[in-house]
Amino acid sequence: MSILINKHSRVVVQGITGHEGSFHAQQMITYGTNVVAGVTPGKGGEWVLDGKVPVFDSVKVAVEATGANVSVIFVPARFAADAIFEAADSGVPLIFCITEGIPVQDMMTVRAYLDQKGVRLVGPNCPGALTPGEAKVGIIPGNIAIPGDIGVVSRSGTLTYEVLYALKLHGMGSSTCVGIGGDPVNGTSFIDALSLFEADPYTERVILIGEIGGSDEEKAAEYISRHMTKPVVAFIAGQTAPPGKRMGHAGAIIEGGSGTAADKIKALNNAGVRVARHPEEIPALLRS
Amino acid sequence: MNLHEYQAKQIFSRYGIPIPRGRVAANPAEAKQIAEELGGKVVVKSQVLVGGRGKAGGIRLAKSSQEAEELATLILGMEIKGLPVRKVLVDEAVSIEKEIYLGITNDRSSRKPVLMASAEGGVDIEEVAARSPDKIIKILIDPLLGLREYQSRDVAVSIDLPKPFWRSFISLAEALWRVYRETDATLVEINPLVITNDQRLLALDGKMSIDDNALFRHADLAEKRDLDVEAPAEIEARKYGLSYIKLDGEIGCMVNGAGLAMATMDIIKLYGGYPANFLDIGGGAGADKVAAALRIILSDTNVKAVLINIFGGITRCDEVARGILAAIGEVQPNVPMVVRLVGTNAEEGRRLLADAQLITAETLVEAAQKSVRVARGGAA
């Protein structure tokens, strides 16, 4: 009942002995995710999280030893690009990068390399993914969502939690929720996620949560009008954002007059997508 | 983060890009001295981080060192678009035969660097792009391969550069690519790149923006940050790892997460108010950070009410509540505050705040409506 991750996913956590990595690895395990390995160079041979998870010096060895097929990265920004390359070369087909603050030129090089290898990256600067009732990879709080048939894709973190929570209060659940991150250059795009939801038999409807900056929402609108049969509801944050200012996320900036919320809402409306005026309006739009 | 023209040109020069002879001056006497060394005929250019310096009278030609001193006196006393001119660049005056545009930036859409060139240099490139986009040549660069020589040659041909200049143009473009790569720039721009009367290529102006996320590996560039372009509250916020942007409204906002912070601003406007700021306290913010955030919000005298909207994930609502209490004790706010805590440890957080004079809200809509009402002096 999902895209990207499910109860069979075998997860390796890069940076598992760090503050963030160990905390969230524990949260993932508590949720029921198969965290099969951790990686911290120099700490290979240790066992962490109540002695349940083996630590390896490299992702490659971790994958060989445990059959991990998803990597999630919690390493600091200055080491993150290298961690992504390492994961890509280890043979895992799917990488989540939670790290915020990776230099954009690093990400352009990463993207070019990953495209050649055919490895999927989600993020960086993202909360990861949650398939309610099955698994979570990243930092989305597990208790705010219930299983259901709504696919959720978002550039934001807490705004996504807000939407999942609003759905839960209305008894509505999601198939998978995926955060694609707030950076200007990332891995998985809205279109990538939409096409996965379109193909997923358990997803009936999709929520797209975008924000100012770039043109990914406009491209998604075009994709929706041409290829999506499932209904899509959207919300775009940043209608009151001034031009030329970076609104927290590296990618959330109106540059040269383009990337405004108004443009994105118009493109989505033209594609037949209903756009909520605020996050708590989304459940009602899904019902109508 | 943007560099000044003189800083950008110094970097260009280190990479072998020819620039006019000249130096930066902080007072008229220095400007006169430099002009004398350059033979008297110079351009005096204000160094401020805004566009349209020329139109504002911040770039002037002097025929003598005496005139250079007078112009420096004039320009150093100016404010351009609200920014004080603290330095002038005194460059030799050159006779120009042709002006070209050359720049490299991040193309977000293709997720690759893009080299841009135009035979119409010396004017605002965004105007050229709007008026006649076909006059701008764009070449995408594979980040794994870098800028290739044939690409630069293609550009030279496309902008009708005379053949004798091809070789120097190709090495200049290669140097500009290395500047972009090695400084983690998001923009390197030469506008105009000129052909002088004595048949040389010369970078007459220079512009560079550096990726803030890459400053950890460019300590030399990080210290060039010009704080004049930032509001004092924004500088203060950065010290605490907070992301703050001042706006013109009356409702101060404190939110965790950039997307939710924008959505909170938007819903305030939807219900008839206007946000005073964007403020993201980030994930896992502790009490001291929350207190700093509240201080910064309340330093804006336009603020008539504060809306605190926290969705606890990594951030724990009880920690935020402790921060709010600490900040209230310290700054004694005289405006009403609306607080909404949801998620991790929200109940504990609400219990901690029960005795403080705060207005609480369950939903985002309720929080927005209440803050708009109290900002107007009404009851919640």
- As for the ipTM of the complex, it is 0.95
Identify residue B288 by its one-letter amino acid code: D
- Chain segment A226-258, per-residue pLDDT in tens: 999 999 999 999 999 999 999 999 899 998 888
Residue A187 in domain = yes
Amino acid at B149: E
Q: Look at residue B129 in the predicted model and tell me its pLDDT.
A: 82
Q: What's chain A look like in SS3?
A: CCCCCCCCCEEEEECCCCHHHHHHHHHHHHHCCEEEEEECCCCCCCEECCCCEEEECCHHHHHHHHCCCEEEECCCHHHHHHHHHHHHHHCCCEEEECCCCCCHHHHHHHHHHHHHHCCEEECCCCCEEEECCCEEEECCCHHHCCEEEEEEEECCCHHHHHHHHHHHHCCCCEEEEEECCCCCCCCCCHHHHHHHHHHCCCCCEEEEEEECCCCHHHHHHHHHHHHCCCCEEEEEECCCCCCCCCCCCCCCCCECCECCHHHHHHHHHHCCCEECCCHHHHHHHHHC
pLDDT of B116 reads 96
A202 has pLDDT over 70: yes
Residue B283 has pLDDT above 80, yes or no: no
Minimal-distance CA residue of chain A relative to B342: A162
Q: What is the dihedral of CA A214, A219, A224, A226, to 10 degrees?
A: 170
**What residue ranges in B247-336 does DSSP mark as E strands?**
251-255, 277-280, 305-312
**Does the pLDDT of residue B208 top 70, yes or no?**
yes
- For an interface test with B, the pick among A22, A240, A247, A253 (most B C-beta atoms closer than 10 Å) comes out as A240
Q: A95: domain CATH number?
A: 3.40.50.720
Whether A267 has its CB under 8 Å from any CB of chain B: the answer is no
What's the whole-number average pLDDT of chain B? 94
- Based on the fold, state whether residues A154 and A255 are members of the same structural domain: yes
Q: Is the pLDDT of residue B125 over 90?
A: no
Whether A128 is covered by a domain: the verdict is no
Number of structural domains chain A divides into: 2
pLDDT, mean of residues B216-235: 91
Q: What is the CATH number of the domain that holds A166?
A: 3.40.50.261
Q: Does residue A149 sit in the same domain as residue A105?
A: no
In a domain, A131, yes or no: no
Domains in chain B and their CATH numbers? 21-92 (3.30.1490.20), 96-223 (3.30.470.20), 232-376 (3.40.50.261)
Q: Do A248 and B364 touch (CB under 8 A)?
A: no
For residues A217 and A215, what is the distance between their CA atoms, to the nearest angstrom? 5
Tens of pLDDT along A140-180?
A: 999 999 999 999 999 999 999 999 999 999 999 999 999 99
Task: Note whether A101 contacts B213, CB cutoff 8 Å.
Answer: yes
Boundary-marking domain end, from A55, A87, A122: A122
Tell the burial category of B302 from Cβ atoms under 10 Å away from its Cβ (0-12, 13-18, 19+): middle
To the nearest whole number, what is the mean pLDDT of chain A?
Answer: 96
Same domain? For A112 and A166 the reply is: no
Partner residue facing A159 (CB), from B259, B268, B344: B259
Mean pLDDT of B223-236: 89
Task: Look at A104 and B313 and tell me if their CB atoms are within 8 Å.
Answer: no
Q: How many CB pairs below 8 Å do chains A and B form together?
A: 167
Q: Is residue A136 part of a domain?
A: no
Q: State whether A104 and B213 contact (CB < 8 Å).
A: yes
Min Cα separation A134/chain B (Å):
19
A284 has a chain B CB within 8 A of its CB: no
A34-44, pLDDT tens digit by residue? 999 999 999 99
Stretch among B116-125, B312-321, B345-354 having the lowest mean pLDDT: B312-321
* B10 DSSP assignment: H
Domain membership of residue A237 (yes or no) is yes
The residue-averaged pLDDT of A99-128 equals 96
B230 has a pLDDT exceeding 90? no
Show which of A89, A122, A155 is a domain's final residue.
A122
Do A111 and A173 lie in a common domain? no
Tell me, yes or no, whether A101 and A159 share the same domain.
no
| Distance separating alpha carbons of residues B346 and A38, to the nearest angstrom | 31
Annotated ligand binding at A179? The verdict is no
Within a domain: residue A3? Answer: no
Mean pLDDT value across residues B34-52: 95
* Inter-chain touch B313–A156, beta carbons under 8 Å: no
Q: Which of B216, B270, B364 sits opposite A162 (nearest CB)?
A: B364
Number of H helices, E strands in chain B: 13, 19
| Model confidence pLDDT, tens digit, residues B64-75 | 999 999 999 999
Residue B343 is predicted with a pLDDT of 85
**pLDDT of res. A1:** 65
Same domain, A94 and A62: yes
Q: Are B204 and B193 in contact (CB under 8 A)?
A: yes
Are A279 and A162 a contacting pair, CB within 8 Å? Answer: yes
A278 and A168 within one domain: yes
Q: At residue A264, does pLDDT exceed 80?
A: yes
Domain shared by A175 and A218, yes or no: yes
Flag whether the pTM goes above 0.90. yes
pLDDT range class, residue B130, cuts 50, 70, 90:
confident
| Closest chain A C-alpha to B176 CA, distance in angstroms | 15
Is there a single domain that holds both residue A196 and residue A278?
yes
A98 with A151, same domain?
A: no
Asked if residue A129 belongs to a domain, the reply is no
Among A122, A154, A184, the domain boundary falls at: A122
pLDDT at position B231 over 90? no
Nearest to residue B170, comparing CAs of B157, B183, B187?
B157
pLDDT of residue A17: 97
List, as residue ranges, the binding site of B for ATP: 45, 52-54, 94, 99
Tell whether A274 and A185 lie within a shared domain.
yes
Q: Searching chain A, which residue's CA lies closest to the CA of residue B143?
A: A109
Cβ atoms within 10 Å of B239's Cβ, excluding its own: 8
Q: Do B364 and A113 touch (CB under 8 A)?
A: no
The reply to whether A155 falls in a domain is yes
Q: Per-residue pLDDT averaged across A6-28, rounded?
A: 96
Q: Where in the sequence is the domain holding A157, given as residue range(s)? A: 144-286
Does residue A281 sit in the same domain as residue A164?
A: yes
Q: What is the pLDDT of residue B345?
A: 86
The reply to whether A20 sits in an annotated binding site is: yes
Q: Which residues of B touch A248 (CB under 8 A)?
A: 243, 257-259, 261-262, 278, 280
